[in-house]
Structure 1
């Protein structure tokens, strides 16, 4: 009898281990807690299950535990690999651990071409494309996930991914349809809840978006780290409604880990609060400060997306020297896009925190055409628009700031942007 995973891929493990492996994969893909413990059970109960060991190696590599990743991939090489897709998966993981994710990217794309029904392979390929800083990376990732959806049928994670890409393009009705279907299949799943939160944000429907999150979040896995990102979304609704205290009350909960969620969502929210005057520049109401979490990454980052948030974290502390050091170091970073784009952002933020807003605007204008390539969502990238607009206003370049505010208002209503635009009319130009 051929044993298959939940999506029909044949796997060389015992029938007793299959349900545990399936549960681990589902928890991982749905961003629920317990996935790591389930995978440990799999590799303990069937240590020669090559795909299980390779999966453990990939997760360890992504978490930065290279020693454990090396141990697991060595076990995968000599484990059972009865089916060609298993051998292909193990080869791609092996190359990732040995040479790095970017060197292994062609192997992941080839693996997905051959085996689009492998959800782990599909999602990792799409993730690399999204974070590659290539102009067409996100579109290619979306194409691949749509193909996988055709192969495996309706799946909450795949539907949620496509909902995210649709909302990022401004196709909010399609995003809502896909997210709703994902939630029909998994009512408490983040795969559908996350794009739903984005649809509310991109629609400018902040009161209803906040009410929906406050009603839905308590129904979700309270141990799952991704829940912190939805807290960040709630904080953005507070800011859009002019409720700085409400946003800051969410700050502690926005991000589930020091090296992951909090280093992304934390500085993004705190810097927005500083720009809007809800908290003093250079201050952080929580401990450890997000700027302290960022310092270990001064010598290198895995993705441009992480690098831009390291820069924001340093900006929240008013650390101009640290930002200049990051700008200098980034010219030698290997992750795609970091050497090309991160120096202008870090340099612009350094000038901003020192009060040289014209110099800041010049650097941020150079970064502006490339901010769409950093990965993540439009809601996450909007902080760079906010910073540039504030730099232009403070530099007296009001026509340039107004043009950007009007473009945003053409996309969606915003009381905050309307108020900022009105202020520019009464300010003196330079």
Structure 2
């Protein structure tokens, strides 16, 4: 009987199909190019291999290819019902819920599944990461929840390179940066062709304030990572954050133009939108000139790629784009849309969204006091939006600069001092000087 790399049975009589599936899982978990080809090879070798179809559907979903994703996961459901173990049936059912966008049900199914099959890594991956089921659950404690989940199952995985990268990053995001970084470094040492570990390590370096070290890591590693890799652009986005910290806006703009923009990016759409919008906004709020055409490009991408999305993390970034590109009529239409909850109810993060739209618009229009008034009451709630600390910090950055420019220097200085106490930052040091002017 064929098994996956974690010792779980695979319902296929083709040794070659099983090998292709195992390869595909490792490549997908490492966010390394080639997973799609591997799963399609497994399907070609065994057209009735349900888990290969389910994994292919997962990649469709990551790239927001909703039609193919739903069609492929439906095929996996049909096949696993005819030829699949109880574990495989639960595996497919859980992935299906996630692919269909039924996040709360998918999270419940995931936890139930893991209680019986804790080493099912493809299911374990669903709640983890900055874009996982926990991060997008609307829970304010999702960082701690990811850490606790990893701690619960750490003994099951031991020194597995994939699990260590997740465990390390979860600890980092939950505030245990030194421990998280050490575990992530163990993961990276076990498998260097692991973009997920490099990404997790960059987040640890961000939290440490080790941005020059992060830049060196990317420069020394990125040459082996093809630009089609899922995290290629986002890893370079981290470099752009380091450039901004040094005051090197030109390098950050070059990364946007040459790597991140929709015209050149091969990244999943959510990465393209969030990386572009947040980097352009970070540049803009520090008064670095940005060609309006760049905002128009990402605005068109947001409207066409996310026409009906109500995901708070998407809206956080659409709010930045909207502030620059939309008129008052378009903004008011967007605000009115938040008053009608989508089918199935709204996220606990939903009340934050009107404030973000109004705050970013106010900042862009130089109404800094209004911006600060919108953001002040909800600073402690921003984790509900999902994503990582590094991604959400752009909101606090906006708040701090709004305080400085509206004359609330003491409050701004208090926030900057708290950040400098956690980690060194040349950018925060420059901002700190503004509060003494």
TM-score, length of structure 1 as denominator length = 0.91
Which residue in the other structure is 1:393 paired with? 404
Partner residue, 1:279: 289
Corresponding residue for residue 372 of structure 1: 383
Counterpart in 2 of 1:168?
173
Please report how far the alpha carbon of residue 136 of structure 1 lies from its aligned counterpart in structure 2 after TM superposition. Answer: 2.6
* Structure 1 stretch displaced more, 2-11 or 320-329: 320-329
Deviates more, 1:72-81 or 1:208-217: 72-81
Q: 1:72 to 1:318 in 2, by over 3 A?
A: closer
- Spell out the pairing of 1:302-381 with structure 2 (5 A cutoff): 303-317=311-325, 321-334=329-342, 336-381=347-392
Distance 2:164 2:328 in 1: 42
Aligned residue number for residue 152 of structure 2:
147
For 1:156, the equivalent position in structure 2 comes to 161
Listed as ranges, the matches of 1:39-118 within 5 Å are 39-80=39-80, 81-96=83-98, 100-118=102-120
* Cα distance change on mapping 1:19 and 1:288 into 2, 3 Å: farther
State the distance in 2 between where 1:20 and 1:382 align.
40
The 1:36/1:351 distance shift into structure 2, 3 A limit, reads same
Aligned partners of 2:415 and 2:122: how far apart in 1? 39
Instruction: Say if 2:95 and 2:123, in contact at 8 Å, map to a contact too.
Output: no
RMSD value over aligned CA atoms? 2.4
Deviation at 1:74?
3.2
1:420 is matched with 431
Q: Which runs of 5+ in 1 are unaligned?
A: none
Q: Contact 2:103–2:137 (CA<8 Å) still a contact in 1?
A: no
| Structure showing greater relative contact order (alpha-carbon pairs closer than 8 Å, 6 or more residues apart) | 2
Q: In terms of mean alpha carbon deviation, does 166-175 or 414-423 score higher? A: 166-175
Q: Give 1:291 deviation, angstroms.
A: 1.8
- What's the offset of the Cα at 1:227? 1.2
CA separation of 1:289/1:299 partners in 2, compared to 1, >3 Å: closer, same or farther?
Answer: closer
User: Partners of 1:59 and 1:298 in 2: how far apart?
Assistant: 18
**Bigger mean CA deviation after superposition, 35-44 or 325-334:** 325-334
Q: Where does the alignment leave 5 or more consecutive residues of structure 2 unmatched?
A: none
Q: Any idea what the Cα deviations from partners look like across 1:6-31, whole Å, max 9, x if unmatched?
A: 11111101222111001111111100
Residue 350 of structure 2 aligns to a residue whose secondary structure is: helix
Q: How far, CA to CA, are the matches of 1:44 and 1:210 in structure 2? A: 41
Aligned to 2:212: 207
Say which of 267, 271, 278 aligns to 1:268. 278
Q: Is the 8 A contact 2:211 2:242 kept in 1?
A: yes
Cα deviation, 1:383-419, whole Å, max 9, x if unaligned, reads 1111001111222222221111111111112222122
> Are residues 63 and 416 of structure 1, via their aligned partners in 2, closer, same or farther at CA, if it must alter by over 3 Å?
closer
How much does 1:319 deviate?
5.2
Whether contact under 8 Å (2:319, 2:356) holds in the other structure is yes
Q: Does 1:29 align with 2:40?
A: no
